[in-house]
Chains A and B, each alone.
Chain A
């Protein structure tokens, strides 16, 4: 009973805030609506008994939305929503597609013969997760680690203003880099 109340108290705001993300004029409000929705997602994960992952999601989303708000103000026109505007294309087609996707998913959820639960959750699911990531799922963990390192490199390469062609010429054959501020000890 208590679980039901908590579930609906989190599920309804999650969906409502998710809808509001695309209805607010203000980009800042949209960001906080998304934060509300994803915090409710973290709450649902906590409700499902995954304490560690739930807290990770809550913390990560909070920081992520703070960063996102900064980018909103940097790049987007109308970040404060002072004038009403919409920036959408093909809304009607998208509504049809999304309604169809939702209908198929709901039909699948309600009609599929879900298997009965096998086994019981252990007393400490976080320990299970750690042992799994460091054991049978080690390849997953290593792949995720590599992907994150690649992301760090890729984001720096994409976001930097001056690449190697700016610094070393079109053929990358200059003997020393053409930097606005010379590096090294002899500057």
Chain B
């Protein structure tokens, strides 16, 4: 098994996630897109560790970092949705545009 198929999978997941982030109006669906993008990053980092530098653990540390970012993104995202819903009763990005004007 070579490096390229794993990286192609990572690129596909990243692009699908990016599509979700750019198009979804619901904040929770937008966060799902971010999760998919980070899933792609995890596959890419693990594959690079395995196929480029398996003797050192730096690639694994990158996976740990991506997993932590996932957890933080999820927790803060839900907290922001809660605060937004409490203040404005909205759960859509387009309705939370007061600062745009």
Contacts and interface: CB of A to CB of B under 8 A. Distances in A.
A147 B68 contact: yes
Contacts of B13: 14-15, 18, 37, 41
Given A89-B23, A129-B57, A98 B12 contact: no
Interface stretch (A47-55, A165-173, A178-186): A47-55
A124 to B, nearest CB: 11
Question: What bracket does the count of chain A residues touching chain B fall in?
Answer: 35 or more
A80 interface: no
B19 A22 contact: yes
B89 to A, nearest CB: 10
B96 interface: no
A45 B46 contact: yes
B72 A88 contact: no
Nearest to B91: A75
B5 A11 contact: yes
**Binding site secondary structure of chain B:** helix
Contact of B68 (A21, A76, A148, A159): A148
Contacts of B53: 117-119
Interface of A: 3-4, 7, 11, 14-15, 18-19, 21-22, 27, 30-31, 34, 37-38, 41, 44-45, 47-50, 53, 56-57, 60, 64, 67-68, 71-72, 75-77, 87-91, 93-95, 97-99, 101-102, 105-106, 109-110, 114-115, 117-122, 125, 128-129, 131-133, 137, 140, 144, 147-148, 151-152, 154-156, 158-159, 161
23 contacts: A3-B1, A15-B16, A18-B36, A22-B33, A34-B36, A37-B39, A45-B46, A48-B47, A50-B60, A68-B28, A68-B31, A71-B28, A88-B25, A93-B22, A109-B8, A118-B52, A125-B54, A144-B68, A155-B75, A155-B79, A156-B79, A158-B79, A158-B82
Interface of B: 1, 3-9, 11-20, 22-26, 28-29, 31-33, 35-36, 39, 42-43, 46-47, 49-58, 60-61, 63-65, 67-68, 70-72, 74-76, 78-83, 85-86, 91-92, 94
